[in-house]
Chains A and B, each alone.
Chain A
Amino acid sequence: DAGVIQSPRHEVTEMGQEVTLRCKPISGHDYLFWYRQTMMRGLELLIYFNNNVPIDDSGMPEDRFSAKMPNASFSTLKIQPSEPRDSAVYFCASTWGTDTQYFGPGTRLTVL
């Protein structure tokens, strides 16, 4: 298996633009997690899904952030409009019936 796949790996955009981050979990995994990593705040859980259904979105910072999982093999995290403080590395992770989360390589987002 190729592991968790994220795209793009790097994204540079200007303030106010819409940003869409993509994730393909490991095949067969039924939990998907979105995290944000910054130096100041570390790894923060934004939202997670079970069987494509959002379970807990309490970590989503504000209404500018939204996430979807239209099927078992694809999820998106959208920021609209983006702001410089959204600059971070965004990780997607997945798991199935175990405590081990498998992380993707991350998307480094820079908002100018």
Chain B
Amino acid sequence: QQQVKQSPQSLIVQKGGISIINCAYENTAFDYFPWYQQFPGKGPALLIAIRPDVSEKKEGRFTISFNKSAKQFSLHIMDSQPGDSATYFCAAQGVGSNYKLTFGKGTLLTVNP
């Protein structure tokens, strides 16, 4: 059972455009939703994260939008740059889960110059 569904699988955006990646979850016990960024040949690294007590969190060009009732959250990358080209993973963590994360399958983002 895939507990975190991520879409699209791949995304191509022009430089300066907005990249949007969506995730949906099923388990209402999840209470922490991070996004990880992975460059080729590297391990994933935390990009930004949100808890369900807020509907939006912004850090620079990266914004998470969170819809608790719909059990959905999304990553928006404003003014996308070629250096943002990477694979992005959404994830979810449950209360008392000992920091155990369930990951989406990832989105390969390509930003064309």
Contact = CB atoms under 8 A, between A and B. Distances in A.
A55 interface: yes
B19 to A, nearest CB: 19
B83 to A, nearest CB: 19
A93 interface: yes
A56 B99 CA distance: 12
B101 interface: yes
Contacts, number: 52
B29 interface: no
Interface of B: 32, 34, 41-46, 49, 89, 93, 98-106
30 contacts: A31-B98, A31-B99, A33-B100, A41-B105, A42-B104, A42-B106, A43-B89, A43-B103, A43-B106, A45-B100, A45-B101, A45-B102, A45-B103, A50-B98, A55-B98, A56-B98, A91-B43, A93-B43, A99-B32, A99-B49, A99-B93, A100-B46, A100-B49, A101-B46, A103-B43, A105-B42, A105-B43, A106-B41, A106-B42, A106-B43
